[in-house]
Amino acid sequence: MRVGLFVTCLVDVVRPEIGFAALKLLERAGCTVEVPATQTCCGQPGYNSGDAAAGRALAKKVIDEFSGFDYVVVPSGSCGGQIKVHFAELFRDDPDLKARAEDLAARTYELTDFLATVLKVERLESDFGGRITYHDSCCGLRELGVQAQPRRLLSLLPGVQLTEMNDCTQCCGFGGTFSVKYGDISAAIVDEKCRNIRASGAEAVVLGDLGCMLNIEGRLRRTGDETTRVLHVAQVLAGDA
């Protein structure tokens, strides 16, 4: 099985260890994994800001780069959602590119969805342990239906105790450019998320989107919480946390 790993620009620049954890998980599950060296951004920031031309240019680039793989796996619900849901919208007036976008969408999976649904992983080589809570990122949950999959994988780790926080499916306030344009609203939303994390009694909050991860971790640290860990689910499942 030949898998193309779409690392995402945020992981590549800010937390490359998440990309390496995803690679490790896929290879352990028996996949032949390739990372196209020319990949950059999925185009979501431009698309969300109304720059359709930039969104189309980057979408076509991704379609070309990942055309030859059996599957494309993304350790991010937001980038995965952009590829699976919005690429075809960008090319609704171009039948050829729309068809190619739909073909790519059918082969693209968020990381935990791929591990749980396609590969049906039943064993993980991770000794991670502790009390955790899980934050459901908006795009992964609402665009891709990712909710049970990461929890099922986490349940395979005998040392993990998962305690659900209140409003675990509520937005963390990041929303990409939303957090820049509406800083006060974003801060109020993430403050509520941080209160729920603390109230759960968890030692770590685990999630599947780096944007949410940075937003939550940044707010926890700025409000004096230096102990609650904020971890990408790939790091936990791979034993790299």
Nearest CA to 121 out of 233, 5, 11 is that of: 233
pLDDT, greater one: 38 or 181: 38
pLDDT confidence tier of residue 178, bands split at 50, 70 and 90: confident
User: What percent helix, strand, coil does the chain show, rounded to 5?
Assistant: 55, 10, 35
Average pLDDT over residues 164-171: 97
Share of the chain above pLDDT 70, in %: 100
pLDDT digits (tens, 9 = 90+) for 120-163: 999 999 999 999 999 999 999 999 999 999 999 999 999 999 99
Is 90 exceeded by the pLDDT of residue 182?
A: no
Cβ(156)–Cβ(226) under 8 Å? Answer: no
Q: What are phi and psi of 196, to 5 degrees?
A: -70, -35
CB atoms within 10 A of CB 181: 11
Per residue in 12-52, pLDDT (tens digit) is 999 999 999 999 999 999 999 999 999 999 999 889 888 99
Question: Each residue of 186-223: pLDDT tens digit?
Answer: 999 999 999 999 999 999 999 999 999 999 999 999 99
Instruction: Fill in the DSSP letter of residue 207.
Output: E
Beta strands 160-162 and 130-134: pairing type? parallel
User: Which structural domains are found in the chain, ordered by start?
Assistant: 2-118 (3.40.50), 130-238 (3.40.50)
Helix (H, G, I), strand (E, B) or coil at 38: coil
**How does residue 71 score in pLDDT terms, banded at 50, 70 and 90?**
very high
